[in-house]
Structure 1
Amino acid sequence: MSPRPVPGSSSGLKKRFWSEASIVDEMEEFGVALDGRPVRLPGGAPLRVSSRALAEALAEEWSRAGRDDVEKRFGPLDLPLTRITGTMIERVAPDRTHSISTLMEYGKNDALCYWTDEGGALAERQQAELAPWLAWSATRLGANLVKTTGLMPVTQPQEALERLEATLVAASDSDLAGLGVAVPALGSLVLGLALMDGVLPVDDAVSLTTLDEQVQMARWGEDSALLDRIATIAADLSDAARFMTLAR
């Protein structure tokens, strides 16, 4: 019996081809099967994880995908945990160095360190809401980052960058995969690590990374494009945080 492949990353919708999604207990790992056929990722690796909680969530995700659509269609957005799991298995695990290097680019240019130079409501909120996380980075991670105002780039201390990198080296493959979604959404490695550490709730993370948008809308009124952007960030962070929790 041939395995069912995971849909590719194309935005095109696929037709649901199964009736039941289930967990396959394989010694110390758990796979997902569709009508008894094991699911494989685009690169050919089996969709298999070590966490039963994550496997159950993956099976439930596949059980729901396309189920309520009139034409039984589904797409990658219906399978967020599967997409992150696929990244963990086929990209992170084979080459952790590349994943760490990519995340470190955000650490070198962490959005947490770039504050407005115009004063006003945004500056006040940055001082009140961002400064504590710079302090957390220094105390919890040992990474004392330098903040700046305006858009001119700031070079972070080498020691701080080394501490951030050491934190990533110590992270699990699943946490690196989750960070691969969360950090670009936040524009901040530090906030991503706080989310991973469980000390930064998703709602607070969304608020911190969209301070500019919030201040703009408070002054000029709601903007659909900004609201859509905030909703996308919220969805990405929720998926990443849930994945990292389930994978442990």
Structure 2
Amino acid sequence: MTGRDTTPRPPEPIRRFYKEATVAPHAGGEARILLDNRPVRTPAKAHLAAPPSIAERIAAEWNAQGDYILPISMPMTRLANTAIDGVTAALDPVKDDIAKMAQSDLVMYRADFPAGLVAEQKAHWDPVVAFAEDALGVRIMLAEGIMPVEQDPRLSEGVRRRLPATPLPLAAFHQLTTLTGSALTTLAFTEALLDFERAWQVAHVDEDWNIREWGEDAEAAARRAQRRKDAEAAAFVLRPEAVPAAS
């Protein structure tokens, strides 16, 4: 007799059950998302609401669904759900996590060869380091390789002080930091040193170098395209004018 198969199975796709998504005014200057005039709720059963420009994007994601609802194609909806259900009650832990990531930021760890990659990292990453040193009043230590280098504790303290105070922008900052590997790049984007395209380039110096040298893998390209959509959603929350209009 064999045991029961306990292999996790993906959830069944949800068939589209509504005709139209719209937005309606909500408390505090926000807008709720409605499906056939019924309010959408988050997984934790809170009202799905956001600033009007973001609510419009969420509604557009729902309207773009076909016969089945595909959450992977709804980055702004997922980000808003995370902010409402997860970040609202955990502002300090989320800030602590971002500050911790800043202590081992992507732009601190440099290659020592080949010369072309060294030059690319310097060209893209040095302006971010210079911005952070000036903005935070600390010297950032750089290292070759991946061995940890200890940073001035004022670095993480300074990053933490400049983080958004409310759930949705803070969730967006955390998401963009995670996707780029760089809290300092996200801070530079938020404070208008970089637009989105430039920030995305900063985050992918090593990957782009390898693509030029060895070619691009189709599956890796698809994963990167999905990450970019998630990054654009976060960037739009933080600085909508800095995100490409076609996004």
Q: 1:113 to 1:11 in 2, by over 3 A?
A: farther
Q: Which moved more, 1:200-209 or 1:109-118?
A: 200-209
1:5 paired residue number: none
CA contact (8 A) 1:186 1:209 kept: yes
**3-state SS of paired residue (1:22):** strand
2:106 paired residue number: 111
Q: 1:180 to 1:155 in 2, by over 3 A?
A: same
1:13 aligns with 2:13: yes
Q: 1:174 to 1:138 in 2, by over 3 A?
A: same
Which of 156, 176, 200 is the aligned partner of 1:206? 200
1:42 paired residue number: 43
Instruction: Give the Å deviation of 1:226.
Output: 4.1
* TM norm structure 1: 0.85
Give the AA of the match of 2:63.
S
* TM norm structure 2: 0.85
The one-character-per-residue Cα deviations of 1:111-138 (angstroms, maximum 9, x if unpaired) are 1100012241110111111111100111
Q: Which moved more, 1:87-96 or 1:212-221?
A: 212-221
Give the AA of the match of 1:78.
S
Give the AA of the match of 1:22.
T
Structure 1: 5+ residue stretches without partners: 1-9, 67-71
Instruction: Give the Å deviation of 1:244.
Output: 2.6
1:24 aligns with 2:24: yes
Q: How many residues align?
A: 230
Matches within 5 A, 1:1-248: 12-27=12-27, 28-49=29-50, 51-66=51-66, 72-168=67-163, 170-245=164-239
Structure 2: 5+ residue stretches without partners: 1-9, 241-247
**3-state SS of paired residue (1:31):** strand
Instruction: Give the Å deviation of 1:12.
Output: 5.0
CA contact (8 A) 1:186 1:233 kept: no
**3-state SS of paired residue (1:130):** helix
**3-state SS of paired residue (1:60):** helix
Sequence identity of aligned pairs in percent?
28
